[in-house]
Structure formats: C-alpha cells, structure tokens
A = this chain, B = another copy of it.
Amino acid sequence: MAQQHLDPTNRLAERAEPARPAGPVPAEALACYLRAQATEFLRALRLHRESGTGANGSSGSGVGDGSAAPVDAARALRRAARRLSGTLHTYQPLLDADWAEGMRPELAWLSGTLAMEHAYASRLERLLQALHRLSGSSAFPARRQVAAATVSATLPAPPAAPDRGNLTVGAAKAGALLDRQLTLARTRAHSTALQALGSSRFHAVADKVALLASEVPLRATADVTADLRSLAGAAEGRLADAVAALPLVTAGHPYNAEALIHGLSPDPAPHPQDAPWHQVRLLLRLHRYAREVLAGEDGPSGEDARLLTAGQSLDRHRDASEAAAAAAQAARTPRIAPATAYALGVLHADQRHEVEAARYAFQHDWRHRSVRPASAQ
C-alpha cells in the first residue's frame, strides 16, 4: 500500500518506550507529559489496528462482535489526542510556536471526528433508556450492545428494532424514529471516522505524534518550572472566570425550571443558555490536563477527583442538552403520528430537566471543592 511508509505504529514500538525518562524533573514535566501522551496515542492506535479495523477502510471480519478491546482502543486514542491538544494549548508559550500552532488544529480535528460516532450511539442509548424509564419499565432495551459498538466496528450493526414490549405505541414509535435517525447519523459518522483514519491527513498527524514521543520541541526559557506554574494558573483563572459568570445561584435552587424555558420557543436555536456551561466544560478539561502536567508521576489528588466529578456533571449536561435537541429534531419529521410527537415532547422535556439536574449537580460539586480557584482567593 502506498501509505505503508506513513504508518507510525510500528515505528513507535521501538522508539517511544526507551525515550521515556525514568523520573521527570520538574522543569522536564511538560516534555515528559507530552511524550507519555504521544506514546499512549500510538499504543492505542496500534491496539485499534490490531483489533481488526484497518485505517485503509478494508472490511475486516470478526469485528463488531461486541468485544470491548476496539472500543477501548478508540476511546484511548481520543483521550490521548484531547490531552495532547489541550496541553499544546495551555503551554504553547513553552513550545516551538510553528510546530504547536500547526499540530493543535489537526489533533482537535482528529478527536472531534473520532468522537462523533460514539456521541450518536450514546445519545441513542440515553434516549431509549429514558423512553423505557418514562414508560415505567425497568427492563432495558436490547440496544446497549449496538450503542457500545463505536468506530471499531467496520460496518455498523443493522439497526435492531428496539424492544417495545413495555412501551406504549407512542413511546415505541418515538423510539423507532430516534433509532432510525440516530443510527443513520452514527453510520455516517462511522464512515467519516474510517475515512479520516485512512487519510493522508491522519497519517501526517500520527507521524508528528510519533516524533513527539521521542522529542519534544521545547522553546528555550529561563525558568521552565515557574513558567509552567504561571501558565497552569492562567488556565485555572480562565476556568474560574467562566464559572463566575454562570448562574450558579439559580442552579442551586432545585426545580428552578430554567432549563425548560424556551422548550417550546419558535427560535430554531432556543438554548443559548447552554453555551456558557459547554464552555466551562471545555475549560475545566483544560484545567484538569494542565494539572496532570504539573502532577507528573504523583498521580491524581483529591482535588483532581473533585474536578473529575464536576466535569462529569458537565458531560451529563452536554449529553442531555444534545439528547433533548435530538428529540425536538425528531418531532419535526413530517407525517409522524400525534402519539409519536407527544412521546417526543415528553422525552424532550425530560432531557431538559436532566440538563437542569446536571447544573444543580455541578454547582454542588463546585461549591464543595476544598481548594478555591485562583481568582476567587
């Protein structure tokens, strides 16, 4: 194959591991972290390919059989790409400017592209689960397996009819409609991801990551340790400012009914209220990664665990927000039955209340952090 020479996974095996220093010195923390994440990226990529899904898009057999390995590999790949991208962003002044500026959008493109299939699958799973909960059914639809099969599956599983045993006609029809629409979106995202993994653009990124695993292009600086702490502090400050602008007092009053305002708005983009929370989610993630760099091999502290919990509330906020939008979107499908539309309305409102619940959880998480953010001191 023409692209064989670009494949960085084999190269990694020999070069990345020995390049990792035994124990990082503080000033070396950034380089050490970037090397470790690059190594992780390449390890995940190798694992992903070994699990059967070639980047060239060939239809392998024996994949999509429910094995967790390819799913884990795809997740690890996204995870490393996000960390590399975030670290390049926060610590850019310490790195070669041209290199960092060229690499970051490519990593963001990659993690964004790889995330889509998983996002559609988990959105469908969330909505079907909610439909079952709303139908008073404790049974779980037989979709978990399908939903969990992400980019790893070469061909998506044929859309399975949702288990309608415990659903009303409206809920069953709404479930089938969402299944159809989100499975189609997932299939497209799957193709896009496969194309991306087979593209020369991806091979260029992987090549750069392979180089990074052995050599980090640090810029000469007087005191790397001081600069590291200062840049991490700036990231924390950006997070604190964004959190301070959130309506946390309102969010702290249970059942404030804010999230469903505009639930029936004629505005086609009715939820600008979600945007600041999505922004905080991204800034919180950058703050967490910045702390990982400083922590070196110390591992996560209690504060890191609290930040992780707060971040999970914001993940839930984002997921519920997008699920609510998907239910509203499905309700605009022409010629659906009134019972289907009614079920989608209930589902939309349910997910908007999940949005509100996630905000409540986040303000609780945030308020109970022991360490105050820098700007709040």
Docked Cα-Cα span, A263 to B264, in Å, equals 19
Given A338-B337, A342-B344, A360-B254, A350 contacting B135 (CB threshold 8 A):
no
CB distance from A342 to the nearest CB of B (A): 4
Q: Judge whether A4 is part of the interface by a CB distance below 8 angstroms.
A: no
Docked Cα-Cα span, A108 to B354, in Å, equals 41
Contact partners of A336 in chain B: CB under 8 A: 338
Contact partners of A254 in chain B: CB under 8 A: 254-255, 357, 360
How does the 8 Å CB contact mask read for A265-278 relative to B, with 1 for contact and 0 for none? 11100100000000
* Stretch in A28-36, A165-173, A291-299 with 4+ CB within 8 Å of B: A165-173
Nearest residue, chain B, Cβ from A252: B254
Q: Judge whether A356 is part of the interface by a CB distance below 8 angstroms.
A: yes
CB distance from A346 to the nearest CB of B (A): 4
Q: How many residues of A contact B (CB 8 A)?
A: 42
Taking a contact as CB atoms under 8 Å apart, the answer to whether A264 and B131 are in contact is: yes
Q: Can you name 16 A-B residue pairings with CB atoms under 8 Å?
A: A131-B264, A134-B262, A135-B262, A135-B264, A136-B262, A136-B264, A167-B264, A257-B357, A264-B346, A336-B338, A338-B338, A341-B345, A345-B346, A346-B349, A349-B349, A353-B353
Q: Judge whether A305 is part of the interface by a CB distance below 8 angstroms.
A: no
If over half of A's interface residues share one DSSP class (helix, strand or loop), that class is named, otherwise mixed; here it is helix
Contact partners of A357 in chain B: CB under 8 A: 254-255, 257
CB distance from A86 to the nearest CB of B (A): 30
Nearest residue, chain B, Cβ from A132: B264
Interface residues of A (CB under 8 A from B): 131, 133-136, 167-168, 170-171, 254-255, 257, 260-267, 270, 331, 336-350, 353-354, 356-357, 360
Besides the known contacts A135-B265, A345-B345, A353-B353, 11 further A-B residue pairs in the complex with CB atoms under 8 A apart: A131-B264, A134-B261, A134-B262, A135-B262, A168-B266, A255-B255, A255-B354, A257-B357, A264-B346, A345-B346, A345-B348
Contact partners of A170 in chain B: CB under 8 A: 264
Taking a contact as CB atoms under 8 Å apart, the answer to whether A338 and B346 are in contact is: no
Taking a contact as CB atoms under 8 Å apart, the answer to whether B342 and A255 are in contact is: no
Contact partners of A342 in chain B: CB under 8 A: 331, 341-342, 344-345, 348
Docked Cα-Cα span, A267 to B134, in Å, equals 12
Docked Cα-Cα span, A255 to B252, in Å, equals 12
Contact partners of A263 in chain B: CB under 8 A: 134, 346, 350
Contact partners of A134 in chain B: CB under 8 A: 260-265
Docked Cα-Cα span, A92 to B32, in Å, equals 84
Nearest residue, chain B, Cβ from A351: B349
Docked Cα-Cα span, A369 to B360, in Å, equals 25
Nearest residue, chain B, Cβ from A265: B136
Nearest residue, chain B, Cβ from A345: B345
Contact partners of A345 in chain B: CB under 8 A: 341-349
Nearest residue, chain B, Cβ from A266: B168
Of the residues B136, B341, B347, contact of A339 by C-beta under 8 Å:
B341
Docked Cα-Cα span, A72 to B86, in Å, equals 65
Nearest residue, chain B, Cβ from A334: B338
